Amino acid sequence: MYVKARVRIWTIADFIENPVEPLQSLVEQIGPRRPNRLIETPRMVDLTGFGAFLQRLRNEGMQPRLMGEFPVGDHPHRTDPRQDHIRLTT
């Protein structure tokens, strides 16, 4: 038996860097509630300091995996402010 589900996976780092594209694909696949409307991008959680937090976890001997490439320094990834809407291609 093979995997048949439609699966998409992003690391948190990748997602935070560019959330519009993944969300757009979700909306397109499930279908928008009201077609032909602009959909505002939801607000991301403020992850300022998350990289440092992960590093502290590691320092404590834990090993958070599958985070993607999160810089340890405080350089929060933010949504590009110009891209605050999801435009459906279909």
Partner 1 sequence: MTAGFVMMCHTELGRAAQVARFWAKAGAPVVVHVDGKVGQPAFDAFAHGLSDLDNVSFSRRFNCEWGTWSLVAAAQAGAQQMLDRHPQVGHVFLASGACLPLRPLAELTAYLAARPQTDFIESVTAADVDWTAGGLHDERFTLHFPFSWRRQRWLFDRYVRLQRRLNYRRPVPAGLEPHLGSQWWCLTRRTLTAILQDPDRARQERYFRGVWIPDESYFQTLVRRHSRSIESRSLTLSKFDVYGKPHVFYDDHLDLLRQSDCFVARKVWPRANLLYRRFLDQKIPAAAGADPDPVRVDRLFAAATERRTKGRAGLYMQSRFPRRDHENGKTPAPYAVFHGFAEVIEEFEPWATKHLAARVHGHLFAPERVEFAGGAVLQPGCLSDSAALRDYNPQAFLTNLLWNARGETQAFQFGPRDTQACNWFMATDPNAQIAVITGAWAVPLFRSNRDFADLRREGLDCKRSNWRIWAFCARCMSRRGCGSGRSPISSKTR
Distances (CA, A) of 11 to 1, 60, 70: 27, 22, 10
Per CB under 8 A, 20 contacts partner 1:
no
Least spacing, CB of residue 14 vs partner 1, in Å: 5
Q: Which 41-70 positions form the footprint of partner 1 (CB under 8 A)?
A: 42-45, 47, 49-50, 53-54, 56-57, 60-68
User: Distances in Å between the alpha carbon of 71 and those of 74, 76, 80?
Assistant: 7, 8, 18
* Binding flag, residue 15, partner 1 (CB under 8 A): yes
Q: Does 71 participate in binding partner 1 (rule CB under 8 A)?
A: no
Distance CA 90, CA 86 (A): 12
Integer Cα distance of 30 and 39 in angstroms: 14
- Give the interface with partner 1 as residue ranges (CB under 8 A): 1-16, 19, 21-22, 26-27, 29-34, 39, 42-45, 47, 49-50, 53-54, 56-57, 60-68
